[in-house]
Amino acid sequence: MTDVQKQVRDMMKIAEETNMIVMEKEGTILKASIDNRMTNAMNLLEISKDFQYLIQSNMEDWVYQIQRMLADRLDKYKERGNQYVDDNIQEIQELYKEEE
């Protein structure tokens, strides 16, 4: 009977050690999962910033192109004898100079 009791105690000790190892591994996995969440969140934030920069730079390009097209069209109408048009062109040019 003592042999059986010793074997049971040894099995219980092994079970306790195994349980401790499993708990340590669960903690490691959980920590890795939390670290990955932080990494993923940081990656998403960086992607978002890059996307905002891309949109902003494209918008600036579009605004520049629109301003060039507008300037070209205004030059076609400038000094054609229509004072109303010339006054509006002058006003737009003054506003543009103020922004620079």
The amino acid at 40: N
**CA gap 7, 13 in Å, rounded:** 10
- Find the mean pLDDT for residues 46-61: 78
In the chain, alpha helices (H): 2-77, 83-99
Is-contact 85 77, C-beta < 8 A? yes
Percent of the chain with pLDDT over 70: 91
- Count structural domains, the chain: 1
Q: What range defines the domain where residue 52 resides? A: 2-99
Q: Which two tokens stand for residue 63?
A: 């605004």
Q: What pTM does this model have?
A: 0.40
Residue pointed to by tokens 């105690």: 9
Look over the chain and give the mean of its residue pLDDT values, rounded to a whole number: 76
Tens-place pLDDT, residues 68-82: 787 777 777 776 777
Strand, helix or coil for residue 11: helix
